[in-house]
Amino acid sequence: MDSLLLLLGFICMIIGIFGSFLPVLPGLSSCWVGLLLLYLTKAVENNYWVLGITLLLTIVITILDYVIPAKGTKKFGGSSYGIWGTNIGLIVGILTPIPFGVIIGPFVGAFVGELIYDSKNHQRALKAATGSLLGFIA
């Protein structure tokens, strides 16, 4: 049983490492599941503090991955439509199989959201979408 858990934990860690570079893979959460599987074996002492702290960090960083692009949109003058567009675009970008969808999605979402808010001001929509992109990169 330990060998199976070690193998599954190793696979989760590898997926997590690739997920750090490929936005379509769940990087941080896969790494945490791999760590949990490692802790379920007899090879590692149970230290629930480490698991708890890493789970908390995983949750916080995952939430920030969604919040920071929206804050970038707001900082660059985006409206609530642009913020909603950013979040919807991020989810659509994650779920679509296009390359760099997770980067393109929030940008397009913020742009479309701002155009819905004010269809005549393309410059403002582009500025808010750029803020979304910079927020994602940060």
Average confidence (pLDDT) per 10 residues, the chain, 138 residues? 89 86 75 91 86 92 79 78 85 79 85 89 87 78
Q: Both tokens of residue 55? A: 């789970």
Please indicate, yes or no, whether residues 119 and 80 belong to a single structural domain of this protein.
yes
Please indicate, yes or no, whether residues 14 and 72 belong to a single structural domain of this protein.
no
Number of domains in the chain: 2
Please indicate, yes or no, whether residues 42 and 77 belong to a single structural domain of this protein.
no
Please indicate, yes or no, whether residues 76 and 38 belong to a single structural domain of this protein.
no
Q: Both tokens of residue 95? A: 């779920």
d(CA 23, CA 116) in angstroms, rounded, equals: 28
Q: Say what the pLDDT of residue 8 is.
A: 93
Q: Say what the pLDDT of residue 24 is.
A: 62
pTM score above 0.95: no
Tell me the residue range of the domain where 7 lies.
1-46
Please indicate, yes or no, whether residues 71 and 13 belong to a single structural domain of this protein.
no
Residue 55 lies in a domain: no
